[in-house]
Structure 1
């Protein structure tokens, strides 16, 4: 058999308690009705039902008088404490419901340098701090294939192809240049010409091939007869840079990624010094697959920064 206490707790209606708190806090039935957007009879009825539940008069109310009884003061004290805890609980769960959570998977060409992409990550994180970035590096050709096959929905690539089901949005350029390491015979030489560099042992990205992501480098080398013995190949920019710094050959890097190492005396720029090969950067997404909100919002941020960077260039 349930005790009187159990019956009281089981049958207690929080809506009545909440209305009672508002009546007291607002100082009257009329003010509480306005606060709750209810009619005065509805609020009066709620108070009456709560008093019947406890079997006690909670508020003395007659013309010119509005005061809590002793029992009313006790219930108000307990109800206020419970209300604060429930309010904190509500804040927590509402915050969780309103917070964008999840992860965003992006594949990026390993040698790619894109200021708009970096800015988009920073601004997106500021807006949605509970979204986790999962970013992997791949050759451009693989990135395009992954999007086409449906295993990936956002990629940044130097490769553009005409293929049904894929969307390529131009988002920027990369300036490429050739470099050698500190132990290479060309290091610290300022009077080199393109003819001096031709025939040097060469380090290559896997995508430094006609029709691949670094097709522009392949075209440059072919157009200038920039041939030499191939001594190493990698798809990873860190490995290409490390191999260049060993001195076993020369290789191409983005000027932005190489500048810090040039400043440190670990890399040396080689001809051409002004006619730099320029690679294009594309955002690769599926045309026929619906992106989720997390992905759409990130792409929106990325395109915003692309536009802003373009305006800054042409000012």
Structure 2
């Protein structure tokens, strides 16, 4: 872009959907992941990036093998595009002729203990925008969420999902960093010098989905790769019950690190090595494209997507996000 080219001329040339695609590429740090999120082919996403770079006459992304880097020009475009789409995402509710005409029931399924300021504030905003919609939220195991969605008995769900899932659509909503913890009565509680070698023989508290092929299998892989020999002495599919069992001293266990900050500060849990955590576990928004949705259900799902577009993955974990 010539430095003297009028901004109005550039505005006329740019397809604003290119910016949305660019944001997805930057957030996912992958052409293929962005394509999956946007329900497009990798070729279409690559071409969109090429068109945007052509319009702006700037390189926005540098890729060398597995290295993915946003250029300084790309960071500028990202910041402006995020501001623009933050404003545009609020147009949806404003353009609904009469939101109080949307009525009905929504059945939404979630895994236990979802910690997300964006999720919390979305629920508040949705209720204010569509007060006649009845929202029924049920907490269950991710496997049961998937079964219910496949049976088309629920609107949507938020949970763990295998890498390949036929007949369901999914969108990455949260990426949680899991770390290892012990309770106050454990021999390693308060040990600042503890090493992974000190943990190898310790018994474990586990999630029932912590199995090879299950939603939490990266945790099993970490344990096996590092040679942990302790037994799994207790398990639960529920976050709070796993946390309770660790409190009670059954053994060490994994928990999402952002979900237990208060427990750590109040001396109920102690974080164990490795300091960088163990694995990232993804939670997806899930729904069935085969389900015939009511007006209330389609409004809920569309509103969820629009609200998620306002925030990056890391921002969705933050507490205290204002509606």
Q: Give the TM-score band, short-chain normalised.
A: 0.5 to 0.7
**Distance of aligned partners of 1:185 and 1:299 in 2 relative to their CA distance in 1, 3 Å threshold:** same
Q: Which residue of 2 aligns with 1:153?
A: 155
Residues 153-192 of structure 1: pairs in structure 2 closer than 5 A: 153-192=155-194
Q: Which residue of structure 1 aligns with residue 202 of structure 2?
A: 200
| Structure 1 position 272 matched with structure 2 position 274 | yes
> What stretches of structure 2 of length at least 5 have no aligned partner?
1-97, 316-323
CA distance in structure 1 between the partners assigned to 2:260 and 2:197 by the alignment: 23
TM-score where L is the length of structure 2? 0.62
> 2:111·2:139 contact (CA, 8 Å) conserved in 1?
yes
The one-character-per-residue Cα deviations of 1:23-77 (angstroms, maximum 9, x if unpaired) are: xxxxxxxxxxxxxxxxxxxxxxxxxxxxxxxxxxxxxxxxxxxxxxxxxxxxxxx
* Distance change in 2, residues 1:227/1:130 (3 Å): farther
Match status 1:292 vs 2:322: no
Shift of 1:306: 2.3
Query: What's the counterpart of residue 240 of structure 1?
Result: 242
Correspondence for 1:42: none
Q: Distance in 2 between matches of 1:275 and 1:244?
A: 17
Corresponding position: 1:224 with 2:222: no
Measured after TM superposition, the shift of residue 282 of structure 1 is 0.9
Secondary structure (helix, strand or coil) at the match of 1:279 reads strand
- Offset, 1:240: 0.8
Higher helix share: 1
Partner residue of 2:121?
A: 119
Q: Alpha-carbon deviation of 1:104?
A: 1.7
Higher normalized contact order (CA 8 Å, seq sep 6+, divided by chain length) = 2
CA distance in 2, matches of 1:297, 1:108: 18
Query: Please, what TM-score do these two structures have when normalized by structure 1?
Result: 0.64
Question: Who is 2:253 aligned against?
Answer: 251
1:161 Cα deviation from its structure 2 partner: 4.8
Indicate the residue corresponding to 1:308 in structure 2.
310
Q: 1:74 is matched with which residue? A: none
Check conservation: 1:157, 1:281, Cα contact below 8 A: yes
Match of 2:85 in 1: none
Q: Secondary structure at the match of 2:181?
A: strand
Note the C-alpha offset of 1:174. Answer: 0.8
Give the Cα separation in 2 of the matches to 1:136 and 1:190: 40
- Compute the RMSD of aligned alpha carbons: 2.2
Q: Determine the C-alpha separation between the residues in 1 that align with 2:236 and 2:140.
A: 11
Structure whose alpha-carbon radius of gyration is higher: 1
- CA pair 125-274 structure 1, distance change in 2 beyond 3 A: same
Aligned-pair distance for 1:106? 1.1
Provide the C-alpha distance between the structure 2 equivalents of 1:301 and 1:216, rounded to a whole number of angstroms: 31
1:97 CA drift (Å): 10
In structure 2, the partner of 1:209 is: 211
Unpaired runs of 5+ residues, structure 1, are 1-95
| Secondary structure at the counterpart of residue 259 of structure 1 | helix
Q: What secondary structure, in the 3-state scheme, does the structure 2 residue paired with 1:309 have?
A: coil
SS of the residue corresponding to residue 240 of structure 2 reads: helix
Measure how far apart 1:185 and its partner are: 0.8
C-alpha distance in 1 between matches for 2:123 and 2:201 = 41
Contact (CA 8 Å) 2:161, 2:284: kept in 1 or not?
A: yes
Cα-to-partner distance string for 1:66-99 (whole Å, 9 max, x where unaligned): xxxxxxxxxxxxxxxxxxxxxxxxxxxxxx9944
